[in-house]
Amino acid sequence: MSKPFQLTHDVIASENRRLEADLGRDAEHLASVLARRGAVFEALVARARAFRIAVPSWGLATGGTRFARFPIAGEPRDVFEKIDDCHAINLLVGITPLVSLHIPWDKPRDAGALKAHAEERGLAIDSMNSNTFEDQEGQPLSYKYGSLAHPDPAVRRQAVEHNLECIEIGRALGASSLTVWIGDGGNFAGQMHFRDALAAYLDSMQAIYAGLPANWRVLLEHKLFEPAFYSTVINDWGTSYWAAERLGPQAFCLVDLGHHAPNVNIEMIVARLIQFGKLGGFHFNDSKYGDDDLDAGSTKPFQLFLVFNELVDAELAAVPGFTPAYMLDQSHNVTDPIESLMVSAMEVQRAYVQACLVDRAALDAAQEANDALAALAALKAAFTTDVSPLLAMARRAAGGAADPVAVYRASRYREVIAKERPAPPRRGAGIV
Ligand code: PSV
Ligand code: MN
């Protein structure tokens, strides 16, 4: 068997040379197609290069369902090894220098050492995610019946304290936002008093908000259902907006693409939150039935493009305060998580670049003239443009790989780390 090679910029560059001739031809063709439409290839490469998306630490181990999890060798055993995998991803794709952490799963014994470990690898900590949807060992009170919206103030207090601790850890790590998703809800009609539960949530969130450093944001994540199957406290964007509005200027809404009813017009929700000045960020993934946590762009790429159409429109209009954080949130049940995260980051970047291609003047004119067909045609012209050579050029220019999955597979990274991480991966079911 040939010796595995390390993922370094040199190795990536030599792999890139293999694809150089074909890529050059494809890029030249795309540049001439774009020029005919008045778009400048190099300008779009610059926009693609500036794109950033965070990788979720919890997506680096194999995911699972409530039925089973099928671990693979070499899964990270702690947050330091998760950072190492994020480093590999960012070396190859060049647009993921950010990592979202989940506490207590990623609670570091030494925050300074973790920060240094990330920084040495060119990475920074993005949002801190709290976890009051499951009980932790030694925790005095249970979250079985809720957390921030629990009827018992003592449980609510414990959940608030946990969020405040997440902020403290995040401060030491250089993070500047806290993402709060709660599983609070009911499985039976009558189980929960809807208005009281929401009031309790707001009260708890106010206590958390009071502990936010001045330069931090808190991102409120809504979700239609699950783990509760009858009612959920923060079930939709309207409720999330209501809470963010009451909390104050540092509170924003986070849109996880999997957290809506099937067929809901998510791009319109995005536009509404932009208009109301409360769009704080995204958890990108894809879904067919519910919160499937499939890879971004894998089942509904047109929806992803339409979401970015709204985001680019807001960016071009310089909507005040519009700085959403882009993050992935996925569960990889049948793929190597590193491969899925690389492909997903690139698919989100693809949607962004395609949205940059929309002929806004043509779209405006079609809307003014009530020409529905022409309006759709303006969007479709951008969506059907294969920008792959442009994305590959952007990666190459940033020192990344023209074909990240091919380089990753050739490097045999998984085999190498499997030897370095001999402990058997944790078995068992569990949706994360
Ligand atoms: C809940 O389904 C969610 O989308 C939240 O973002 C959680 O933090 C994450 O998944 C992990 O369970
Ligand atoms: Mn999420």
Residues in contact with ligand 1 by the CB-under-6-Å rule are 58, 129, 181, 221, 223, 256, 283, 291, 329, 432
| CA 346/CA 56 separation, integer angstroms | 15
Contact indicator for 222, 236 with CB cutoff of 8 Å: yes
| CA 185/CA 271 separation, integer angstroms | 27
Q: What is the pLDDT confidence band of residue 427, given thresholds at 50, 70 and 90?
A: low
Minimum-distance ligand 1 atom for the alpha carbon of 254: 6
Tell whether the model's pLDDT for residue 431 goes beyond 60. no
Mean pLDDT score, 26-54: 98
The model carries a pTM of: 0.97
Token couple for 60? 């680096």
pLDDT digits (tens, 9 = 90+) for 105-140: 999 999 999 999 999 999 999 999 999 999 999 999
Tell whether the model's pLDDT for residue 1 goes beyond 50. no
Cα–ligand 2 centroid distance for 253 (angstroms): 12
pLDDT digits (tens, 9 = 90+) for 288-322: 999 999 999 999 999 999 999 999 999 999 999 99
C-alpha count within 13 angstroms, C-beta hemisphere, residue 239: 19
Tell whether the model's pLDDT for residue 158 goes beyond 50. yes
Cα–ligand 1 centroid distance for 115 (angstroms): 23
Residue whose Cα lies nearest atom 10 of ligand 1: it is: 432
pLDDT digits (tens, 9 = 90+) for 174-213: 999 999 999 999 999 999 999 999 999 999 999 999 999 9
| CA 175/CA 314 separation, integer angstroms | 25
β-strand partners of 231: 186
| CA 167/CA 126 separation, integer angstroms | 12
Q: Report the chain's mean pLDDT, rounded to a whole number.
A: 96
Residue whose Cα lies nearest atom 11 of ligand 1: it is: 432
- To which H or E segment does residue 190 belong? none
Best residue among 129, 130, 177, 289 to mutate for probing ligand 1's pocket (most ligand atoms within 8 Å of CB) is 129
| CA 285/CA 292 separation, integer angstroms | 8
Q: What is the pLDDT of residue 22?
A: 96
